[in-house]
């Protein structure tokens, strides 16, 4: 059994099990079931999506084949470093995903529903940049071009660059960024930041209080 396999499954733990009424309880039950080697009980706490990815028989084998690692992983899960944050996503008729956060027993709309193109942090900037490209919002993409690279850059040139002959490379770049962004370790030093993705490194720079895209490292270069 690989620890990574369990890590994937833990993030898919269901919060609405028979006895678990909140994320903390679900995680606590799951951790103790693993710690005590109760594979069937742990499996029942997995979401439908997780169970579709691994059968009960395969899950039992993972727990049985390396009980020491499973117990240690269960102990680690029982000591979370921060309280869980309950979130939800809803999709509008035009396909826009909105995030909500549960605060004091009430659902509140997250900031992403107000500003779809945040540039306040490097990670938010990467998410916003990829979203703007996906939606062909080149007016927004222009906001991510650093001052040093803006001379001669127009909406028409951006569109021609990203939708012309380089479109296959663009699609590969977007796919790599979307895959890396949620978990990539972003190194931030002063006014600069770097995020690894695929075979390249995305370089960001902060100007006028917002983060912009400076270069794509060894990946295909764009304006």
Residues belonging to the chain: 223
Is residue 92 within 8 A of residue 98, CB to CB? The reply is yes
Query: Reduced to 3 DSSP states, what percent helix, strand and coil does the chain have, rounded to the nearest 5?
Result: 45, 20, 35
User: Distance between CA atoms of 202 and 188, rounded to whole angstroms?
Assistant: 12
Instruction: Report the SS3 class of residue 202.
Output: strand
Instruction: Report the SS3 class of residue 166.
Output: coil
* Closest by Cα among 88, 67, 205 to 148: 205
| pLDDT on residue 193 | 95
What is the DSSP secondary structure assignment for residue 116, as one 8-state letter?
S
* Closest by Cα among 85, 86, 83, 78 to 30: 78
| pLDDT on residue 146 | 93
Total-model pTM: 0.49
Establish how many alpha carbons lie within 13 A of residue 186's alpha carbon, considering only the half-sphere containing its beta carbon.
Answer: 22
| pLDDT on residue 105 | 74
Averages of pLDDT over runs of 10 residues in the chain (223 residues) are: 41 40 74 88 81 82 81 76 68 56 73 66 90 87 91 88 83 87 89 90 93 73 39
For Cα atoms 183, 3, 126, give the angle at the middle one, nearest 5 degrees: 5
Is residue 200 within 8 A of residue 216, CB to CB? The reply is yes
């Amino acid at each position: 059994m690989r620890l990574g396999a369990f890590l994937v499954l833990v993030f898919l733990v269901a919060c609405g099990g028979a006895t678990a009424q909140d994320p903390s309880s679900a995680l606590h039950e799951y951790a103790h079931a693993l710690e005590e080697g109760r594979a069937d009980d742990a499996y029942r706490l997995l979401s439908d999506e997780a169970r579709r990815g691994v059968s009960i028989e395969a899950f039992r084998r993972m727990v049985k084949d390396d009980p020491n690692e499973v117990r240690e992983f269960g102990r680690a899960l029982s000591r979370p470093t921060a309280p869980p944050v309950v979130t939800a996503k809803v999709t509008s008729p035009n396909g826009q995903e909105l995030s909500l956060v549960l605060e004091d027993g009430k659902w509140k709309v997250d900031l992403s529903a107000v500003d779809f193109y945040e540039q306040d942090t490097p990670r938010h900037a990467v998410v916003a940049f990829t979203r703007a490209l996906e939606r062909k919002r080149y007016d927004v993409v222009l906001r991510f071009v650093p001052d040093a690279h803006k001379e001669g850059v127009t909406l028409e040139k951006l569109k021609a660059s990203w939708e012309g002959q380089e479109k296959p490379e663009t699609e590969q770049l977007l796919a790599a960024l979307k895959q890396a962004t949620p978990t990539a370790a972003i190194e931030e030093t002063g006014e600069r930041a770097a995020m690894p993705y695929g075979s390249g490194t995305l370089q960001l720079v902060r100007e006028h209080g917002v983060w912009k895209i400076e270069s794509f490292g060894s990946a295909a270069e764009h304006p």
